[in-house]
Amino acid sequence: MADRTTTAADDRGEIETRGLTKVFGQGQAAFRALDDVTLTIREGEFFTLLGPSGCGKTTLLRLIAGFEQPTAGELLINGKTVAGQGPNQRPVNTVFQNYALFPHMTVRENIGFGLKMLGKPKAEITATTDAMLELVKMQSMADRKPAAISGGQQQRVALARALAPAPRVLLLDEPLSALDLKLRKEMQSELKRLQLETRITFVFVTHDQEEALTMSDRIAVMVDGRILQLGSPAEIYNHPAERFVADFIGDTNFLDAEVTERNGTTAMVRLPGGAVRAASLPDGLTPSAGERVTIVIRPEHASLVPSGDRPEGDLSATVEHAVFFGTDTHIHLRLEGDTPFTLRRQNTGTATSPPSPGQAVQIRVAEGGIQVLRS
């Protein structure tokens, strides 16, 4: 295993793309899968490409891996161009959705296969394989065949095999998609642990927003072959720059509002019903007083106002129904003007009955819980 002593993601660029473009086909049948992508992935970080099917995330991963060559633009790994290089010439390894383990080999033989192909000495192969078995907690199953272990254990073997040659970059193409929900959550923690222990740069592709938020240091949200927003999970979730991002990442309430005044990165907006509240503005957005805008409010940033304490809230609504989710309850409401609104209330253990359908309620939005969006 390569010695990586850093304790946090480095600012140096492990992977850089400059105007990277990929077009499949020609003439009228041409399809631009990747459109002028410029991006830096830092050394030692867990970086996620997130987006719906067809957004270009897997194409970008395949370009980094060397399975595809770009139509235009430049790709560098560790500061060196990799133009024309195939997968075996790049300091990267890939874990696929189907794991692609050799069924006739044991777990130990699968993990050591790449090292054997590289011509490593037998003693080094044994030592590295032992270290990988310990890393992924598979020592007791080293002599089993893939058919004799579970899906989650097969994934660990695939990870160990990919990590054994100590690549600078590990590419992961939706490796959790075939697992059931409980095992997928366990493997999310396992992947993050492995990345922190090895300090190898992980580039992870997924359409699952929860996976991205749980594991990533940074996320690039992609659509139509472009990166729409790049930032930490907290930045992407709490400060979406575009409506698509706000809608794709988590549950979101969209409301029409009117700007009453603007002061730097904050605007005062009039909510439906007349209440005026402060709202944050994304970079570069400068609406004028009187302008109609769209605002976003996350369900957990709103609460019902106790009628005996503060009878006037920011929004008036009528309860439609409530759904119990175990950790929290989602209360579905209808605002004045027939606009739907969802509020999420955490279940703390103290029994609190949800409001009844048809009940008139007031909603208070938390400080900092409103943001203006680009349309």
Report phi then psi at 301, rounded to 5: -95, 10
The reply to whether 200 and 278 lie within a common domain is no
pTM over 0.75: yes
Alpha-carbon gap, residue 297 to 341, rounded angstroms? 9
**pLDDT on residue 312:** 67
**pLDDT on residue 122:** 93
The reply to whether 234 and 257 lie within a common domain is no
pLDDT band at 43 (very low <50, low <70, confident <90, very high): very high
Mean pLDDT value across residues 108-125: 92
Which contiguous run of DSSP H or E holds residue 192? helix 181-198
**pLDDT on residue 313:** 77
Report phi then psi at 20, rounded to 5: -70, 130
**pLDDT on residue 338:** 87
Task: Identify whether 2 is part of a domain.
Answer: no
**pLDDT on residue 5:** 39
Identify the domain boundary among 210, 243, 276: 243
The reply to whether 225 and 344 lie within a common domain is no
Is it the case that residue 1 has pLDDT exceeding 70?
A: no
Low-confidence winner among 246-255, 299-308, 338-347 (lowest mean pLDDT): 299-308
Mean pLDDT value across residues 323-346: 90
The reply to whether 154 and 198 lie within a common domain is yes
The reply to whether 67 and 126 lie within a common domain is yes
Give residue-wise pLDDT tens across range 136-156.
889 999 999 999 998 888 888
CA distances from 260 to 169, 271, 375 (A): 49, 10, 18
Give residue-wise pLDDT tens across range 263-286.
888 999 999 888 899 999 988 888
**pLDDT on residue 184:** 82
**pLDDT on residue 7:** 39
pLDDT band at 307 (very low <50, low <70, confident <90, very high): low
Is it the case that residue 99 has pLDDT exceeding 50?
A: yes
Task: Identify whether 153 is part of a domain.
Answer: yes
Task: Identify whether 3 is part of a domain.
Answer: no
Task: Identify whether 4 is part of a domain.
Answer: no
Alpha-carbon gap, residue 187 to 181, rounded angstroms? 10
Is residue 301 within 8 A of residue 369, CB to CB? The reply is yes
Task: Identify whether 7 is part of a domain.
Answer: no
Residues constituting the chain: 375
**pLDDT on residue 325:** 85
**pLDDT on residue 3:** 43
The reply to whether 239 and 255 lie within a common domain is no
**pLDDT on residue 4:** 43
Is it the case that residue 117 has pLDDT exceeding 60?
A: yes
CATH number at 42 reads 3.40.50.300
The reply to whether 277 and 198 lie within a common domain is no
Give residue-wise pLDDT tens across range 14-39.
999 999 999 999 888 889 999 999 99
Q: Which of 292, 348, 343 is nearest to 317 (CA)?
A: 343
Identify the domain boundary among 243, 276, 293: 243
Alpha-carbon gap, residue 50 to 53, rounded angstroms? 10
**pLDDT on residue 92:** 94
Task: Identify whether 265 is part of a domain.
Answer: yes
Mean pLDDT value across residues 285-311: 84
pLDDT band at 301 (very low <50, low <70, confident <90, very high): very high
Q: Into how many domains does the chain fold?
A: 2
Residues of the chain with pLDDT > 70, as a percent, come to 94
Is it the case that residue 309 has pLDDT exceeding 60?
A: no
Instruction: State which residues form the domain around 287.
Output: 251-373
Low-confidence winner among 12-16, 51-55, 125-129, 351-355 (lowest mean pLDDT): 351-355
**pLDDT on residue 333:** 95
The reply to whether 71 and 96 lie within a common domain is yes
**pLDDT on residue 194:** 87
The residue ranking higher by pLDDT, 27 or 108, is: 108
pLDDT band at 8 (very low <50, low <70, confident <90, very high): very low
**pLDDT on residue 310:** 52
**pLDDT on residue 351:** 59
CA distances from 345 to 87, 326, 352, 355 (A): 49, 11, 10, 12
Is it the case that residue 371 has pLDDT exceeding 80?
A: yes
**pLDDT on residue 216:** 95
pLDDT band at 13 (very low <50, low <70, confident <90, very high): confident
Identify the domain boundary among 243, 274, 303: 243
The reply to whether 267 and 225 lie within a common domain is no
Average pLDDT over the chain, rounded to an integer: 89
CATH number at 331 reads 2.40.50.140
Is residue 336 within 8 A of residue 273, CB to CB? The reply is yes
Q: Which of 168, 172, 224, 227 is nearest to 19 (CA)?
A: 227
Task: Identify whether 203 is part of a domain.
Answer: yes
